[in-house]
């Protein structure tokens, strides 16, 4: 079993792989459109506060659980607490990994297809492109295949090595596109949109969107960081590594904003176009540039790279579970779970061509893919994070977790105490209130208390 697990070759390798998990469609596709529909700079400000005060303390919970136990999310709960309902929280994480992978892979497949689309059919809309099942389904399958092949190679040779090559490539490509956008006349309006906050547009829904986006973007709430933390040696400095991962992820989200909005404003696009923003608006922006098809291809290569290092982590969580707990080989695990994600994701891939799937709705989300994203990408991550805060703070105990954080690093006892306050009180209560506001009865209740 031990040789089926693995260990990062270096702390830098871990940071790159964890940042690779965090940086994905969430940063480049979701962050700009959510920021765009929520008023720009004010949203960005609240997002940054959520990352620093809620997500970062919580990230330390996942990393300490992972490294202490050296196990997957279910195994970790079993190791710390024995057979107890807490293993179900780990199980929820494993399930969430498969479910997010299923619809995330569909969008990643579109991104991959768009690399070629800019040359073949530049004028085609996202709707027409994705409604062609004979294109969307094979692209989805292909993207899952890439993911399976990376994860099959294991932690060091597959995940760490690919991240070491792909992450620096991503950064270089982004910087090129940012310079291109910023040098267009009128680009400064886009910069202003991102840095001059107008707080009058902030509502409780803005806070909800910011917190949900922060958890999703940092890959938190489903044990991805428990799993990646489990491959860390005792000598690694957990708090510093965690801060680096959060900085990289946040930095790339902001860069994505600076890559998109200046070009968008310069060429006259609408910032609140919603989910199609980068698929519909950006290609039109690129078209107006010299060598637009090449720029577009570069952009979608970049998006595919970012998505791949994230789908790898989504697959790794359930794979580590069956490898550790069921003693499956890594090879069998990746194919079986990859196949399950394909089956689960088929309705999302077929939604654009199937009216019945488009009209599904739940708590304000419409369409199969959006409903899946609400349930797994928002609610499940929030519930998982809240329960894991409670577990770390009150059940395993923040002092035990703190001792793990201190090993290999320089975190002082005073800092552990402050961190304990966050994960026992501030984080779980805040996440609870935000989750409550998602449901109509909860929103009414909060309004009656004068919150929101």
What's the min distance (Å) between Cβ of 352 and ligand PHE? 21
Binding to ligand PHE by CB under 6 A, coded x per residue (else -) over 278-317, reads: --------------------------------x--xx---
Segment contacting ligand PHE by CB under 6 A, of 24-32, 146-154, 350-358, 368-376: 24-32
Residue 217 within binding range of ligand PHE, rule CB under 6 A: yes
Identified binder of ligand PHE from the candidate list 13, 20, 24, 393, rule CB under 6 A: 24
Close Cβ partners of 343 (under 8 Å, ≥ 6 residues apart): none
Tokens of 213: 């986006």
Residue 419: closest CA among 395, 391, 392, 396: 392
CB 114 → ligand PHE: shortest distance, Å? 17
Is 92 a binding residue for ligand PHE by CB under 6 A? The answer is no
Handedness of CA 218, 219, 222, 224 (dihedral sign): negative
Closest-CA residue to 278 (of 108, 43, 105, 100): 108
Continuous segment of H or E residues that includes residue 327: none
Supply the minimum distance, in Å, between the C-beta of residue 307 and ligand PHE. 7
Region 309-368 residues binding ligand PHE, contact defined as CB under 6 A: 310, 313-314
- The window from 111-119, 149-157, 211-219, 389-397 that contacts ligand PHE (CB under 6 A) reads 211-219
Return the number of the residue (94 or 266) whose C-beta is nearest ligand PHE: 94
Least distance in angstroms from the C-beta of 100 to ligand PHE: 6
Closer residue to ligand PHE (CB): 71 or 180: 71
Residue 259 CB, nearest distance to ligand PHE (Å)? 15
| Residue 136 makes contact with ligand PHE by CB under 6 A | no
Minimum distance from CB of 17 to ligand PHE (Å)?
A: 12
Distance separating alpha carbons of residues 228 and 26, to the nearest angstrom: 19
Q: Is residue 428 close enough to count as binding ligand PHE by CB under 6 A?
A: no
216 forms part of the interface with ligand PHE (CB under 6 A): yes
In the chain, % helix, strand, coil (3-state, to 5) comes to 80, 0, 20
What whole-number distance in Å separates Cα of residue 198 and Cα of residue 259?
Answer: 21
Identify the DSSP state of 362.
E
Angle at 172 between CA 166 and CA 174, to 5 degrees: 100
257 is an interface residue for ligand PHE by CB under 6 A: no
Nearest residue to ligand PHE, using CB?
Answer: 26
Looking at 22, 209, 341, 434, which residue binds ligand PHE (CB under 6 A)?
22
For the purposes of burial, counting CB atoms within 10 Å of the CB of 134, is it exposed (0-12), middle (13-18) or buried (19 or more)? exposed
Residues in the chain: 452
End-to-end CA distance of the chain: 50
- Secondary structure of residue 366 in the 3-state scheme: strand
Minimum CB separation of residue 160 from ligand PHE in Å reads 16
Q: Nearest approach, Cβ of 21 to ligand PHE (angstroms)?
A: 5
Q: What angle do CA 10, 240, 420 make, to 5 degrees?
A: 130
Q: Which is nearer to ligand PHE, 24 or 40 (CB)?
A: 24
Give the per-residue contact string, 93-132, with ligand PHE (x = CB under 6 A; - = no).
-------x--------------------------------
Reading the block at residue 251, the tokens are 């930095």
The answer to whether 366 touches 415, Cβ cutoff 8 Å, is: no
Q: How far is the CB of 263 from ligand PHE (least distance, A)?
A: 21
Kindly state the tokens that stand for 281.
């608006």
| Least CB distance to ligand PHE at residue 163 (A) | 13
Please report whether residue 26 would count as binding ligand PHE according to CB under 6 A: yes
Residue-by-residue DSSP string for 94-161: HHHHHHHHHHHHHHHHHHHHHHHHHHH-TT--HHHHHT-HHHHHHHHHHHHHHHHHHHHT-IIIIIIH
Stretch that binds ligand PHE, among 20-28, 227-235, 318-326, 404-412 (CB under 6 A): 20-28
Task: Return the number of the residue (27 or 406) whose C-beta is nearest ligand PHE.
Answer: 27
Nearest Cα residue to 90 out of 224, 230, 219: 224
Q: Which chain residues interact with ligand PHE by CB under 6 A?
A: 21-22, 24-27, 100, 216-217, 219, 222, 224, 310, 313-314
């Amino acid at each position: 079993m031990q040789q089926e697990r693995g260990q990062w070759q270096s702390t830098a390798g871990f940071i790159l792989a964890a940042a690779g998990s965090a940086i994905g469609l969430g940063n480049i596709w979701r962050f700009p459109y959510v920021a765009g529909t929520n008023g720009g700079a004010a949203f960005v400000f609240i997002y940054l506060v959520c990352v620093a005060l809620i997500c970062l303390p919580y990230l330390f919970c996942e990393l300490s659980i992972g490294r202490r136990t050296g196990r997957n999310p279910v195994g970790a709960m079993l190791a710390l607490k024995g057979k107890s309902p807490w293993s179900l929280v780990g199980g929820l994480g494993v399930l969430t990994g498969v479910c997010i992978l299923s619809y995330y892979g569909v969008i990643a497949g579109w991104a991959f297809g768009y690399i070629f689309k800019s040359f073949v059919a530049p004028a085609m809309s996202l709707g027409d492109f994705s409604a062609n099942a004979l294109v969307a389904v094979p692209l989805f399958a292909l993207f899952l295949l890439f993911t399976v092949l990376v994860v099959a190679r294991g932690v060091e040779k597959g995940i760490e090595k690919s991240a070491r090559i792909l992450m620096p490539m991503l950064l270089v490509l982004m910087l090129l596109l940012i310079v291109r956008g910023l040098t267009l006349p009128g680009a400064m309006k886009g910069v202003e949109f991102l840095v001059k906050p107008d707080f009058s547009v902030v509502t409780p829904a803005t806070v909800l969107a910011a917190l949900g986006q922060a958890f999703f973007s940092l890959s938190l709430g489903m044990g991805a960081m428990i799993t990646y933390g489990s491959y860390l040696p005792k000598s690694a400095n957990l708090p510093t590594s965690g801060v680096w991962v959060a900085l990289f992820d946040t930095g790339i989200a902001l860069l994505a904003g600076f890559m998109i909005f200046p070009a968008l404003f310069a060429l006259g696009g609408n910032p609140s176009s919603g989910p199609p923003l980068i698929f519909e608006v950006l290609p039109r922006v690129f078209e107006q540039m010299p060598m637009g098809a090449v720029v577009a291809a570069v952009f979608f290569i970049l998006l595919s790279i970012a998505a791949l290092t994230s789908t790898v982590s989504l697959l790794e969580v359930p794979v580590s579970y069956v490898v550790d707990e069921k003693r499956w080989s890594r090879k069998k695990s990746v194919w079986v779970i990859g196949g399950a994600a394909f089956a689960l994701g088929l309705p999302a891939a077929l939604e654009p061509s199937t009216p019945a799937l488009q009209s599904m709705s739940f708590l304000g989300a419409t369409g199969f893919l959006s409903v899946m994203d609400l349930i797994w990408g928002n609610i499940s991550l929030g519930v998982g994070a809240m329960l894991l805060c409670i577990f770390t703070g009150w059940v395993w105990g923040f002092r035990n977790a703190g001792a793990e954080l201190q090993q290999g690093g320089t975190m002082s006892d005073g800092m552990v105490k402050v961190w304990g306050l966050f994960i026992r009180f501030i984080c779980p209560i805040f996440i609870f209130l935000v989750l409550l506001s998602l449901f109509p009865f909860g929103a009414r209740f909060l309004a009656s208390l004068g919150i929101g």
